[in-house]
């Protein structure tokens, strides 16, 4: 199993500012994933964070808006840049528990972001 | 790309009634996973199905994977208030990330 510490747990931000979310895992993992979950909705994959290379973004998400860092095998950050109210959402980091793809995913507690 | 559809979106039952949620994929899945998310919480893994026609049970929960590996279901027998939450199915995409269905929110009234 993997224990994920994600922070901040929640924040209220002014539009036009940026917020960096941190994700710390208690073990080394190859791939980390960032999801967005809008209120009452499902989880949408933003990007896959790979150590030693650029993140891989899903359709509809771009690096300028959601820059990701992955400095080592236990840590990643997601920045939500130039925020607008439409960015209000829960952001979750996730890791695989073992050998992909036949393994469960573990999630951080999430960051509840409100943009005003 | 792979799309995972899930129905119903909401289900409200009386405690003791059964509950079923269905998941359908536009493509054949290598495996399918089920997660539960309690209100205000994060998704928690329930089970993974890999084999065609596979059926797995966890106490009152029964999970099935279709013969064609394109659909799955979760059935809860005699629901309890502790079953409240949103149940998601998820297929694995080519990048090894999970592709979640829209989820079924279950409300159980005592």
Of A31, A56, A109, the CB nearest to B42: A109
**Ranges of chain B with pLDDT below 50:** none
The answer to whether the CB atoms of B92 and A101 lie below 8 A apart is yes
A73: Cβ–Cβ under 8 A, 6 or more apart, which residues? A28, A29, A30, A51
Which pLDDT does position B30 carry in this prediction? 86
What integer pLDDT is reported at residue B20 of this predicted model?
98
Question: Least CB-CB distance to A48: which of B1, B48, B95?
Answer: B95
Look at residues A96, A53, A4, A79 and name the one whose alpha carbon lies nearest to residue B93: A96
Which pLDDT score is estimated for A13? 98
Residue B8: domain span: 4-109
Does domain A4-115 fall under CATH 2.60.40.10? My reply is yes
> What CATH number has the domain bearing residue B91?
2.60.40.10
The answer to whether B91 contacts chain A (CB < 8 Å) is: no
Low-confidence ranges of chain A (pLDDT < 50): none
A-chain residues near B103 (CB < 8 A): 42
The structural domain count of chain B equals 1
Q: What is the pLDDT of residue B23?
A: 97
Contact B47, B23 (CB under 8 A): no
Residue B17 DSSP code: -
Contact flag B31-A101 (C-beta cutoff 8 Å): yes
- Write out chain A residues lying below 8 Å of B96, CB-based: 31, 48, 96, 100-101
Going by the DSSP 8-state scheme, the letter that residue A101 receives in this structure is S
């Amino acid at each position: 199993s993997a224990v994920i510490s994600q922070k901040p747990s929640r924040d209220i931000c002014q539009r036009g500012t940026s917020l960096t979310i941190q994700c710390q895992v208690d073990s080394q993992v190859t791939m980390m994933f960032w999801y967005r979950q809008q209120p009452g909705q499902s989880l949408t994959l933003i990007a896959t964070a790979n150590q030693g290379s650029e993140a891989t973004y899903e359709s509809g998400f771009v690096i300028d808006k959601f820059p990701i860092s992955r400095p080592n095998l236990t840590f990643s950050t997601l920045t939500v840049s130039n925020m607008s109210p439409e960015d209000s959402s829960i952001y979750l980091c996730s890791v695989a528990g073992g050998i992909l793809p036949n393994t469960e995913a573990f999630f951080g507690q999430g960051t509840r972001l409100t943009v005003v | 790309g792979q799309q995972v559809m899930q129905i119903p979106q909401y289900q409200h039952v009386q405690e003791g009634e059964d509950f079923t949620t269905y998941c359908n994929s536009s493509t054949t899945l290598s495996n399918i996973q089920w997660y539960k998310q309690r209100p205000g919480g994060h998704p928690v893994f329930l089970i993974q199905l890999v084999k065609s026609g596979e059926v797995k049970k966890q106490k009152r929960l029964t999970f099935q994977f279709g013969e064609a590996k394109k659909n799955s279901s979760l059935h809860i027998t005699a629901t309890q208030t502790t079953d409240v939450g949103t149940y998601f199915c998820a297929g694995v995409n080519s990048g090894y990330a999970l592709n979640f269905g829209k989820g079924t929110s279950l409300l159980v009234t005592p």
